[in-house]
Structure 1
Amino acid sequence: MVPVLLSLPLLLGPAVLQETGPYSLIFLYTGLSRPSKGFPRFQATAFLNDQAFFRYNSNNRKAEPLGPWSQVEGMEDWEKESQLQRAREEIFLVTLKDIMDYYEDSAGSHTFQGMFGCELSNNRSSRAFWRYAYDGQDFIEFNKEIPAWIPLDPAAAITKQKWEAEKVYVQRAKAYLEEECPAMLKRYLSYSRSHLDQKDPPTVTITSHPTPGRNRIFKCLAYDFYPQGISLHWNQAGKMPASESRGVFPSGNGTYLSWVEVEVPAQDRDPYFCHVEHSGLSQSLSVQWDETKEQKPKARWQLGLSKSLSLRDVRES
C-alpha cells in the first residue's frame, strides 16, 4: 500500500498505454482522530477510473455526485447511498478508536484510511481489493481467496477478531468484491462509458535553460491529455540519451501533465527530438527543440502544476 493512499495515479499503478478500458470502481475513505479546521472527521470519495464521481463527508452526511455525474439522472439513489455511507462512517470511526485504545493514545492525532474496489476488463471481473492503513502504514487487508482478513499491524488482530466474529461477515466481504462491486460498476458504466472513454491528445512544448556549467537542460512538457497513460522520451541521432522523467500528475481540470528532461553537452549540436505516444494521438509525435521557436508553457499550466502537486493527497484520489 502506498503510505498516503489518496493519490489516484499511484493507486492505479504505473501509467501505461491502453485501449478503452479496463474500468475500475474505487472507494477511498479517510478518518481523522483530531480533524483540523476545514477538514471533516470522515470523508469518502468514489472514483470511476481516475474520475471522482461522488463524495460524502461527516459534516453534511450526504453523498453527492460530482462533475458531469451531477447532471446524470437515475444513476444512483443518492439518499440511499447517503444512508450506506453513514453506516460505513460509524464502523470506520469505531475501528479508528479501537486502534488508538490498543496503543493507549486516545489524545493523539491519527489517520485511518481505507481503499477498496474492483476492476472490469473485457466486461469480466479482473481485479478486486480491500485494505486499510493506519497513519500511512499497512494495517489490514482482505484476502478473498482464503477468505479472511489478514492483519498487517499488531492492533489489527483485534480488528480481525471483531470483523470475523460471524462467518457470514467474511462471506459478505467476499461477495461484495466478487459480485456486488462488479455489478455496480457495470451499472455505472451504462451512464458513464462515453465520458470515461474520452481521449484528449497532449499539447507539447519544449523549453531549455542553462545549468551551472555550460550544458543545457531541455524540458519536454506534455499537458492537457487524458487518459493518464503516456510515453515521453528524448531521441538524439536515433538513440535515447539518459533523461529524467517527472511522472504523471493531475493538472486540476480532469486532465494530466508530464515532462521529461535531458542534459545536453554544450558542444553537442545534433538535433534533439521529444518522442510522445498517447492514445489520443492517431500516431506517435516527435517534436524537435528549436531555439528560434522555443515556446513557454502557459502561465495557467505553471500554476496548475503547483496546485496539482499540493493536492496529490486528493485531489483526485
Structure 2
Amino acid sequence: MVPVLLSLPLLLGPAIPQDTQAGPYSLTFLYTGLSGPSKVFPKFQANAFLNDQAFFHYDSGDRKAEPLGPWTQMEGIEDWEKESQLQKARQDIFLETLHDIMNYYNDSDGSHTFQGRFGCELQDNRSSGAFWKYAYDGKDFIEFNKEIPAWIPMDPAAHNTKRKWEAEAVYVQRAKAYLEVECPQMLQRYLSYSRKPLDWQDPPSVSVTSYKAPGGDRTLKCLAYDFYPRGIHLYLTRADKVQDPQSAREVLPSGNGTYLSWVVMKVPPGDRAAYTCHAEHGALDQPLTVPWDERQETRV
C-alpha cells in the first residue's frame, strides 16, 4: 500500500502562465472516510476548496465529482468524468488505510473516522506553503514533512503506515514533488478560471453596542459583519488609545459566504471617555470608525 495519492496518476494539464497575482490563494482537499454506515454521511467523501470556497464534491453515494458554486458555470476547468474515476480510486485506497488502522487497534466495533487534509498555497505566482496531514478518530495520525522529506508518525499505528508509505524511496520523492510542483501547477491552472470569484471583496458593516447589568460594568461589543475576504483588523480605542480586548478576536462564517468578527471589553462605572470601534479591511479604502453612543445601551 502507498499513500492515498501516490499510486495514482494525477490529472494535471499544462501549467498556464499567469499575470502577476497577489493572493494568497490556496487549494485544499479534505477527505473523510467512515468505517460504519451512516444515514447522514456517506462512507467516503472528498471536498476541494479554492481559498475558502467549495470548488467540487465527490462521495461514495453517486460516485461523481461535481463542481460547486460559480464553477458549475465554467466550461473546461476540469474533465469531471476523469476526476470521478480518480476520486473513486482514491476512495478505495483511503478506506483500505482506515481498515488497516482499525485492525492494528482491533477496533472492529463502533464507527471510526479517517480524515486527510492536503494542499498548497501561492503568493505572487510562487509557492508559499503546503500541507499533508491525516487524523484517526479526530486525533493527529501522520503528516508529511517535505523538508526532510519523510512521513512523521503521530500515533502508534502510524509507524506501520509510515513503513508501507516509505517502502520505496520514490514514494517519498513523489509526495514531495506533489506538494512543491504538481499541486501549485494545478492551483495555477484553476486560477486561470477563478480569479473573479476568488478576488471579490465586500467591506464590513460595523456596529458598537453595550449593555450593563445592575451595579456592574458596562460591556462594549464592536461587531463587524458581512465582509469578505476573511482577513480583518478590528479593535477598540479609548480616548484614541488602542485597548486590549476582553477576549481573543474571532472570525467566523456568517452562513451566506461572508464573515463576522467582534471584540468585547469592559467599561468601569463612571468612565465617560470616548470609545470608538475601528475596522481595517482590504475592501475599505480607509479604516472604518464607529463611535460608541451610550444612548444605545441595553440594560439587563
Please show how residues 233-312 of structure 1 align to structure 2 within 5 Å.
233-243=235-245, 244-292=247-295
Please show how residues 33-52 of structure 1 align to structure 2 within 5 Å.
33-52=35-54
Q: Taking structure 2 as the reference length, what is the TM-score of the superposition?
A: 0.88
Please show how residues 1-317 of structure 1 align to structure 2 within 5 Å.
20-211=22-213, 213-243=215-245, 244-292=247-295
Task: Report if aligned partners of 2:114, 2:135 keep a CA contact under 8 Å in 1.
Answer: yes
Displacement of 1:212? 5.3
Higher relative contact order (CA 8 A, sep 6+): 1
State how far apart, in whole Å, the 2-side matches of 1:61 and 1:239 are. 57
1:241-260 per-residue CA deviation (whole Å, 9 max, x = no partner) reads: 33224400011111100111
Displacement of 1:232? 0.8
State how far apart, in whole Å, the 2-side matches of 1:143 and 1:261 are. 39
Q: Secondary structure at the match of 1:196?
A: helix
1:241-283 per-residue CA deviation (whole Å, 9 max, x = no partner) reads: 3322440001111110011111112211112100111111000
Task: Report if aligned partners of 1:20, 1:197 keep a CA contact under 8 Å in 2.
Answer: no
State how far apart, in whole Å, the 2-side matches of 1:44 and 1:246 are. 31
Q: Secondary structure at the match of 1:287?
A: strand
Aligned pair count reads: 277
- Partner residue of 1:9? none
Displacement of 1:215? 1.6
Tell which structure's C-alpha radius of gyration is larger: 2
Decide whether aligned partners of structure 1 residues 90 and 212 sit closer, same or farther in structure 2, where only a CA change above 3 A counts: farther
Task: Report if aligned partners of 2:25, 2:123 keep a CA contact under 8 Å in 1.
Answer: yes
State how far apart, in whole Å, the 2-side matches of 1:279 and 1:245 are. 21
Decide whether aligned partners of structure 1 residues 84 and 294 sit closer, same or farther in structure 2, where only a CA change above 3 A counts: farther
Q: Output the amino acid matched with 2:287.
A: S
1:218-259 per-residue CA deviation (whole Å, 9 max, x = no partner) reads: 111111101100111110112223322440001111110011
State how far apart, in whole Å, the 1-side matches of 2:22 and 2:172 are. 34
Displacement of 1:46? 0.6
Once superposed, what is the RMSD of the aligned Cα atoms?
1.7
State how far apart, in whole Å, the 2-side matches of 1:246 and 1:150 are. 32
Q: Taking structure 1 as the reference length, what is the TM-score of the superposition?
A: 0.83
List alignment gaps of at least 5 residues for structure 1.
Answer: 1-18, 296-317
List alignment gaps of at least 5 residues for structure 2.
Answer: 1-20
Decide whether aligned partners of structure 1 residues 233 and 280 sit closer, same or farther in structure 2, where only a CA change above 3 A counts: same
Q: Secondary structure at the match of 1:82?
A: helix
Q: Secondary structure at the match of 2:241?
A: coil
Displacement of 1:211? 3.1
1:51-71 per-residue CA deviation (whole Å, 9 max, x = no partner) reads: 111111111111111111111
